[in-house]
Amino acid sequence: MNVPFPDIVLGVCLGIGLASACGFRVFVPPLLLGVAQRAEFVPMGTGPEWLGSWAGLAALGVASALELGAYYIPWVDNVLDTIASPLAVLAGILLSASVMHDLGPTAQWSLAIIAGGGAAATTQAVTVVLRGLSSATTGGFANFLVATGEFFGSIAVTVLTILFAPLAVVMMALVVYALVRALRRRAAAGRARSATPG
């Protein structure tokens, strides 16, 4: 069966957008995709059908609540990052592969690993650096701001991806680019200060 090229592009964008959102929170993107399935806002073929089941929604809801709560405990959030980072990449790969089903298996999994896993890893890496800076400069007491931003970021990116996937991919690329540039400027400024004779 020949799949229209626009449908393939949309599936790839949807996969990358959802994977990027997994870099913020592992369980929120599949939960929201399941809600969209349950509400028949997206076709049930968009991702595994169990996401839209009541059991799937309940399990993902509990997991999302536990993940959210853990990130509000100072220093526990930094420890959680060591577990969440590989989980975010794995979730990004699996979720993106599940919505790229119009591709052949080789292209599907290759893109899921490279683009989906890469998008999740990039987003997760930026949040880990931001949390590390917050912990170092405030003793972890401002980490709740980072955690809140990540939570709402995961919701915003997932919803935008479901509504208009290509725009979500472009916006995430711009946000990550801006954050990486800001972190590099901060690091360069820190090196310059430390190199200045006191």
pLDDT digits (tens, 9 = 90+) for 51-71: 889 999 999 999 999 988 888
DSSP conformation letters of 65-85: HHHHHHTTSTTHHHHHHHHHH
Q: How many domains does the chain fold into?
A: 1
- Its domain, for residue 9, covers 5-189
Domain-located, residue 139 = yes
HSE (CB half, 13 Å, CA atoms) of 32? 23
pLDDT digits (tens, 9 = 90+) for 104-148: 889 889 999 999 999 999 898 888 888 778 777 877 677 788 889
Domain-located, residue 82 = yes
Ramachandran area for residue 40 (φ above 0: left; ψ -120 to 50: alpha; else beta) = left
CA dist 123 and 33 (Å) reads 19
Domain-located, residue 68 = yes
Is 0.75 surpassed by the pTM of this model? Answer: yes
Closest CA relative to residue 94, chosen from 71, 117, 76: 117
Range in 34-43, 53-62, 76-85, 122-131 the model is least confident about = 76-85
Where is 48: in which H helix or E strand?
none
- Cα angle, residue 181 at apex, residues 11 and 97 outer, rounded to 5°: 20
